[in-house]
Structure 1
Amino acid sequence: MDTVVQYDIEVIKEEVRQLLKKGLISRQQPIYSLFKYICDRDWESFELELENREFLLRDRIIDLLGREDWDQD
C-alpha cells in the first residue's frame, strides 16, 4: 500500500527552495509547474495545502516563498 505524503506549507516551501537552488525551476514560473516534481499520488495533498493557504496554482512561485533572506557571499 502506497502512503500519501501530507504536505505542510513549510515543507512545500523548503522543497521549492531546493528546486530553485538546483536550478530546476525559476521564481517567475506558476506554482502549477511544480507538478512534475511531486508524485502523482501526493499532488492532491500538495494542492489542498496550497488552497488552504489561499494560493492559486496560477500564482508565481515567488508569491509562495514571500520574502527570502539571502546569505551574504
Structure 2
Amino acid sequence: MDTAVKYDIEVIKDEARLLISKGVVNRQQPIYALCRYIPERDWPFFEIELEKNEFLLRDRVIDLLSQDKWEED
C-alpha cells in the first residue's frame, strides 16, 4: 500500500508558512530545513516538486514564500 503524500507547490508553501508561524523554522533557513518536518517517505515527492518549480534545497524559505502575490490594501 502506497501511503506517500503527493505534494504540489501550494501544499509545500502552506507547510512552510505553518512551520514559520509555529516558530520551528526561520524564514532565513534553507528550504532543506523543512525536511525535518516532512515524513522521510514523502521527501522525494517534496524534492521533485521543488525542482519542477525551480527551487533549490539551498534556497531560503523566504524565497519559496516570496512568490506569493500581494494585493494592495
Query: What TM-score does the superposition give when structure 2 sets the normalisation length?
Result: 0.88
Q: Distance in 2 between matches of 1:57 and 1:20?
A: 17
Corresponding position of 1:38? 38
Unaligned 5+ runs, structure 1: none
Question: Would you identify which runs of 4 or more consecutive aligned residues in structure 1 move more than 6 Å?
Answer: none
1:34 corresponds to which letter in structure 2? Answer: L
Shift of 1:2: 4.3
Q: C-alpha offsets along residues 13-43 of structure 1, whole Å, 9 cap, x if unaligned?
A: 0011000000000000000011100000000
Corresponding position of 2:12? 12
Q: Distance in 2 between matches of 1:26 and 1:4?
A: 26
Q: Distance in 2 between matches of 1:35 and 1:2?
A: 20
**Percentage of matched positions with identical amino acids:** 64
Q: Distance in 2 between matches of 1:2 and 1:21?
A: 30
Q: CA RMSD in A?
A: 1.3
